[in-house]
Chain A
């Protein structure tokens, strides 16, 4: 009897337990968010963008574009996205516009918007979302959380393996942050502007990885990021902080 028991293969069971413990039992794989191009994915320590993590994306409208691409990569065509907006910055940055988001393969039915007057409520709503199973991504729009708040969000993101994104307001002061990555996105002069959307993506910080700089574009046909082929005529925009 004892002999037989020893021979039982426990690896499958262990895998299940690990999956349950990491909160990944809801249909979303614990796999990282692939940007769609190995040139970027391989340079990130997770082999893509960590799914259960907090990511900060700066850079005004260029940043919004890059972020929309990431959302599509993270949520697919039917994952539900909780988008928490800080009402105060609406006038400055405008409202997320559905027809524009549709170019990134995101559908209207995927979004659940939250609009709060206080940043505290935005953070609260984000955390509620991150701790609810079944969401594909959670966005904090127009807030600038301090270290403690980002730490909380990071832990909440890990709990259910849901990616969280922070889009800070344009007028921001840099805070210490517990986010896994911080991206600065800048517009790039682009003669093929109508065909592709192209940005300079500057990975400023990355936990467990080195900062890196790419010029990447969004491919509307295949719905993935790619390295820009033409590197001519590139002038990057100055930091949005001074420009806005």
Chain B
């Protein structure tokens, strides 16, 4: 890593460390110590990415996971340890997984995050669990285990305070004056006098179900079965609490330490496992099991209250207006929110403004258009310029060319003058004279003459719609 004074070593492995190479050394010094040293350029961004992936992966143990510094991960395992036969079981499993991933890790579990941090980095063993009696357990550790800045550590050491036991019983006021409040603050946090919440990387889900596998699974049928099982469980839980899911995420934890998220959303809160499963089937095709999936977790990120009672039985809903929400949900999940919509009338004379779209989940409108003038059945997305032969101003054309074809006008009706909506700031200022033209084959068109154009009769003509 190039810094002032030459390229320096930013990290070492255990073999290099045993030869006396340590981070912060210049590369030249390190090479002098060990000529056969293998060097790779440090890449902090990739390291951070890899760490974040690992943080995601750790979600298999608890939803509260967060990266801690450039090289640490902190997990809040309160209430989760029983899934792995206690804290010890969880740590053994974690260590085994890291070993399999060929990661060197130091793991510690303690009552406070600060104590776990200290033990993981400055404890004697690679794996430590401390229950209760933090104060005594922390005594032999170096003051560096308090997460202090290097200069504070240095000052403490200059004062001869090397271990936590040296400072823990010192009078607090003089210590704070000499070394800053941080020391006391950190000490309180480690001992649990001050609470230290950890902020998880992803918002903690309201409801979740979890399914570990004895053997990693990879077949699509197995994934589908597992999804079904998770959904059944989750819907049971939601049912007990009178909630319905709006947004669900299925997280696949792969053997190689990576994760994949599959999310669905619903237009209305539901806990109909069958319906939710249909939404997932659309997306399960994208599930990539890699070398196998060991754990699947289903989380409900958003839920709404949903009162109990009979869930609808298909076909027992009398009348025409059946609930189309399940259909809309399926369409939206595949085509996106923009892909499904309804139309609503707008009270406007401007043809292209007379219709607006609204989300499919909105209530169907009862409004309607006032059909006082004939309107085309299709409106072009944009008016298309046409070349016309018009005898005089304010007269319909005799002949026009649209999309490179010439049309003889047999009958014409109009003009119907449509004024701009002057009260809207973005409205144009020109009138449009609309004509209904019928060509030699009886096809009927809706064209307009933009009267704001220069007063040349055959300019400023546009095709805007097609009549039935």
Same assembly:
yes
A99 partner, pick from B314, B323, B375, beta carbons under 8 A:
B375
Give B324 Cβ to nearest chain A Cβ, in Å: 6
Which of A98, A116, A187 makes the CB contact (< 8 A) with B339? Answer: A116
Using known A-B contacts A27-B320, A98-B355, A100-B468, determine if residue A125 contacts B335 with beta carbons closer than 8 Å.
Answer: yes
Render A111-144 as a binary contact track against B, CB cut-off 8 A, 1 for contact. Answer: 1111110000100110011001111100000000
How far apart sit A199 and B444, CA to CA, in the bound complex (Å)?
Answer: 12
**Contact between chains at B443 and A68 (CB < 8 Å):** no
Specify which chain B residues have a CB less than 8 angstroms from the CB of A151 in the assembled complex: none
B343: Cβ under 8 A from any A Cβ: yes
A61 near B378: Cβ-Cβ < 8 Å: yes
Q: Flag if A64 contacts B377 (CB, 8 Å).
A: yes
Near A by CB (< 8 A), chain B positions 284-337 give 314-315, 317-324, 326-328, 330-331, 334-335
Q: Are A99 and B334 in contact (CB under 8 A)?
A: no
Say how far B356's CB is from chain A's closest CB, in angstroms: 10
Please report which residues of chain A, range 25-72, place their CB below 8 angstroms from some CB of chain B when the two chains form the complex: 25-28, 60-62, 64-66, 68
Known: A97-B465, A108-B368, A128-B327. A61 touches B377 (CB 8 A): yes
CB B436 to nearest CB in A, in angstroms, measures 8
Of residues 94 to 113 in B, which have CB atoms within 8 Å of A's CB atoms?
A: none
Which of A108, A112, A189 contacts B410 (CB under 8 A)?
A189
Using an 8 Å CB-CB cutoff, how does the interface string of A189-202 with B read, 1 for contact, 0 for none? Answer: 11101100101000
B334, B341, B342, B377: the one contacting A65 at CB < 8 Å is: B377
Complex: A111 Cα to B354 Cα, angstroms: 16
A108 touches B345 (CB 8 A): yes
A107 at the interface (CB under 8 A from B): yes
CB within 8 Å for A64 and B468 given contacts A91-B381, A102-B371, A115-B341: yes
- Nearest CB to that of B314 among chain A residues? A133
Q: How far is the CB of A97 from chain B (nearest CB, A)?
A: 4
When chains A and B are docked, how far (Å) is the Cα of A62 from the Cα of B324?
A: 31
Question: Looking at the complex, which one of A90, A129, A188 makes contact with B327 (CB distance below 8 Å)?
Answer: A129
Q: Please determine whether A116 and B335 come into contact, CB atoms closer than 8 angstroms.
A: yes
> Which residue of A has the minimal Cβ distance to B354?
A99
- Which one of B324, B367, B441 contacts A187 once the chains associate, using CB atoms below 8 Å? B441
Complex alpha-carbon distance, A187 and B466, angstroms: 12
Interface presence of A96 (CB below 8 A): yes
A98 in complex: contacting residue of B369, B436, B440, CB < 8 Å: B369
B344 an interface residue at 8 Å Cβ cutoff?
yes
Which residues of chain A come closer than 8 Å to B345, judged between CB atoms?
98-99, 108
**How far does the alpha carbon of A132 sit from the alpha carbon of B381 in the complex, in Å?**
31
Provide the B412-453 mask, 1 if CB < 8 A to any CB of A, else 0.
010000000000000000000000101011111000000000
Contact A132 B369 (CB under 8 A): no
Residues of A within 8 A of B368 (CB): 102, 107-108
Task: Count B interface residues, CB 8 Å.
Answer: 61
> Could you tell me if A98 and B468 are in contact, using CB atoms closer than 8 angstroms?
no
Contacts of B380 in A (CB 8 A): 91, 94-95
B238 adjacent to chain A (CB < 8 Å): no
- The SS class assigned to the A binding surface is mixed
**Residue B340 contacts which of A98, A103, A107, A113 (CB distance < 8 angstroms)?**
A113
Q: Is the CB of B341 within 8 A of A100?
A: no
B331 surroundings in chain A (CB, below 8 A): 114, 125, 128
List residues of chain B with CB within 8 A of the CB of A27.
318-320
Chain B residues with CB below 8 A from A129, complex form = 327
- The answer to whether A132 touches B327, judged by C-beta atoms less than 8 angstroms apart, is yes
A188 touches B442 (CB 8 A): yes
CA distance A115 to B466 in the complex (A): 20
Does B467 have its Cβ within 8 Å of any Cβ on chain A? yes
Q: Shortest Cβ distance from A57 into chain B, in angstroms?
A: 12
Query: A124's contact among B319, B334, B374, by CB below 8 Å, is which?
Result: B334
Q: Give the segment of B30-38, B118-126, B358-366, B392-400 that binds chain A.
A: B358-366
Contacts of A97 in B (CB 8 A): 351, 355, 375-379, 465
Q: List 24 A-B contacts (CB under 8 A).
A: A61-B443, A61-B468, A65-B467, A82-B327, A90-B381, A95-B378, A95-B381, A97-B465, A98-B354, A100-B379, A108-B369, A112-B340, A112-B341, A112-B360, A113-B341, A115-B339, A134-B322, A189-B442, A190-B442, A193-B444, A194-B413, A197-B468, A218-B468, A237-B441
- What 6 pairs between A and B have smallest CB-CB spacing? A65-B468, A134-B322, A237-B441, A94-B378, A109-B364, A187-B442
Known pairs A61-B377, A189-B410 / 11 extra A-B pairs, C-beta < 8 Å: A95-B381, A98-B355, A108-B369, A112-B342, A115-B338, A134-B322, A186-B441, A187-B444, A235-B442, A237-B441, A238-B441
